Amino acid sequence: MAIFFGKQKHPDKRLIKSNRKSKIPDGLWTKCAGCGEIIFNKTLEENLMVCSKCNYHFILSIPRRIDVTLDKDSFIELDSDLTSVDPLEFQGPKTYKEKLKQDSELTGLKEAAVYGRGKINGKDVILAVTDSRFIMGSMGSVVGEKITRAIELAEQEKVPVIVISGSGGGARMYEGMFSLMQMVKTSAALSRLNKSGGFFISVLTNPTMAGVLASFASLGDIIIAEPKSLIGFTGPRVIEQTIRQKLPEGFQKSEFLLEHGFIDMIIGRKDMKSTLALLIEYTNKE
């Protein structure tokens, strides 16, 4: 091959390199939102969706959360047919009905919450889980109703109730006052549970915000958070813009809230099930 100027060119090698690159399948890797590390998806899944480099906890779907929390095949879902209606006939860039349909197709869920009976190390529990992928896990009438029914069932059957929260949306604006009423309803149910001697463990995941935190999520007999979770009523950026002051480092993260007494403990995902089992055993609530 002739050399006219400078170094010899190798178009054939560039072609081979290009062809190899095009054969790499999509969806094999995920970039960590915590540290930027590129993680092989299979490795991430085997590590319960936790970054091994920085311990960032990725959001879990409801089915996956149930799998890692309860004994295998022990979960029995209740009231799975409950779905939201459109009381305000909400209009916007997307109607409420369109948003419900879109997120249902995206997540495979009918609503942002699921509850039912299950077991942890053979101990009976009532478990409710919210999913931030469905309208940001916001609390509409159905979410509030399911959380309330979970609490009332735990009171009736005298077993612990665990609610794992993941909500960045708080009260669901599409339902207006109907959504805000769920804060009172769930809190009242927990008050009755407490008076009956029941036991409620609240698990906060990233993110747990607004009306969810201001109601049932902050009323646990024991409040646990996953590491580095964003937990608060209003986000740090909005607060800074409102008060025009710089917030402390790590404000509204799990570690900051533990230091200031808002939560009781921070537990990593790998140790969550065993910790829940110990708490149930220690409190002798079955």
Pull the structure tokens for residue 69. 């929390």
For residue 123, give its domain range: 59-283
Say how many C-beta atoms besides its own lie within 10 A of residue 81's C-beta.
6
**pLDDT higher than 50, residue 77:** yes
3-state SS class at 33: coil
Residue 171 domain flag: yes
**For range 169-173, the mean pLDDT:** 80
Span 34-76, pLDDT tens digits: 788 788 888 788 788 888 788 778 888 889 999 999 999 999 9
The answer to whether residues 36 and 164 belong to one domain is: no
Span 198-250, pLDDT tens digits: 999 999 998 888 888 888 989 999 999 999 888 877 766 777 677 777 776 76
Type of residue at 228: K
* CA atoms of 43 and 154, how far apart (whole Å): 37
The answer to whether residues 176 and 249 belong to one domain is: yes
The answer to whether residues 51 and 73 belong to one domain is: no
Pull the structure tokens for residue 206. 């990233």
Tell me, what CATH number does 143's domain have?
3.90.226.10
Residue corresponding to tokens 């986000």: 235
pLDDT, position 168: 72
Percent of the chain clearing pLDDT 90 (strictly above): 36
Residue 3 domain flag: no
3-state SS class at 168: coil
The answer to whether residues 46 and 120 belong to one domain is: no
The answer to whether residues 150 and 236 belong to one domain is: yes
How sure is the predictor about 16, in pLDDT bands with cuts at 50, 70 and 90? very low
Contact by Cβ (8 Å): 35, 56: yes
Chain-wide mean pLDDT for the chain? 83
The answer to whether residues 48 and 66 belong to one domain is: no
The answer to whether residues 149 and 47 belong to one domain is: no
Look at the chain and report how many structural domains it folds into.
2
Task: Give the predicted TM-score (pTM) of the model.
Answer: 0.81
- 233 compared with 277, residue with greater pLDDT: 277
The answer to whether residues 180 and 90 belong to one domain is: yes
The answer to whether residues 118 and 207 belong to one domain is: yes
